Structures are given as C-alpha cells and as structure tokens.
C-alpha cells in the first residue's frame, strides 16, 4: 500500500486552512475540507502523476506536482511522487504567491 508522508509545513498549512474555514465559514465546512484533503491525498497515491509538473530551483523539490483539494479547487496540494507513495510538501491557497513560497526557477 502506498504511503502518504506529510511534511511538517504541510500539516501546519492544513491546520491554518481548517481554522480559517471554521472562523469564516463554519466548522462543518472546515471538517469537510479536512475530509476532502485526505481523500485527495489518497487519490494522489493511486494516481501520482495526475498533477501538473512544476519546475523549481531547489533540487529537493525535483518532480514536484500540483493538484487541488476535491471540492476546494482554490486550495492547492504540492506533492512529490515517491517510490512508496507521495510526499505532501505544502497545501496553499491559490491566491498566495506560491511560486515565491516554493521557489520558481
């Protein structure tokens, strides 16, 4: 079975999105976000190449791809396919300057 590794910053991103949604929408929407994020991660383990590829400066981020949280299309998942699964690097809002956050080449 493929594994999902979440970088610490990705876990922090998920918490920040949850808190924002809970405070600005509802706790139900925030909980649905976490459920959908987990479902999206599981989908990526089954189909790790479905996301768009990105070219970044950092060699540690080679092969990074971008996908979205199901039904939350404005929240993007940045991940790297691995031999045994995927590494979730960040989960960022689409309106953020994510190229600067990740380091565009």
Q: In angstroms, rounded to a whole number, what is the distance separating the alpha carbons of residues 45 and 49? A: 9
What's the pLDDT band for 104 if we cut at 50, 70, 90?
A: low
Domain boundaries, the chain: 3-102
Cβ atoms of 91 and 21 closer than 8 Å? no
What CATH architecture is 3-102?
Answer: 2-Layer Sandwich (3.30)
Cβ neighbours of 9 (radius 10 Å): 15
pTM reported for the whole predicted model:
0.92
Tens-digit pLDDT profile for residues 9-54: 999 999 999 999 999 999 999 999 999 999 999 999 999 999 999 9
Strands 65-69 and 3-6: unpaired
Cβ atoms of 45 and 4 closer than 8 Å? yes
* Structure token pair of residue 51: 């996301």
CA–CA distances in Å: residue 60 to residues 63, 64, 71, 102, 103: 9, 9, 29, 11, 11
């Amino acid at each position: 079975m493929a594994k999902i590794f979440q970088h610490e910053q990705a876990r922090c991103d998920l918490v920040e999105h949850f808190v924002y949604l809970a405070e600005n929408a509802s706790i139900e929407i925030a909980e649905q976000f976490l459920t959908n994020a987990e479902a999206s991660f599981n989908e990526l383990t089954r189909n790790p190449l479905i996301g768009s590829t990105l070219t970044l400066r950092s060699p540690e981020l080679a092969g990074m791809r971008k996908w979205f949280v199901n039904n939350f299309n404005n929240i993007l998942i940045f991940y790297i396919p691995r031999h045994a699964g995927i590494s979730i690097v960040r989960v960022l809002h689409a309106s953020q300057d994510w190229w600067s956050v990740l380091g565009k080449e």
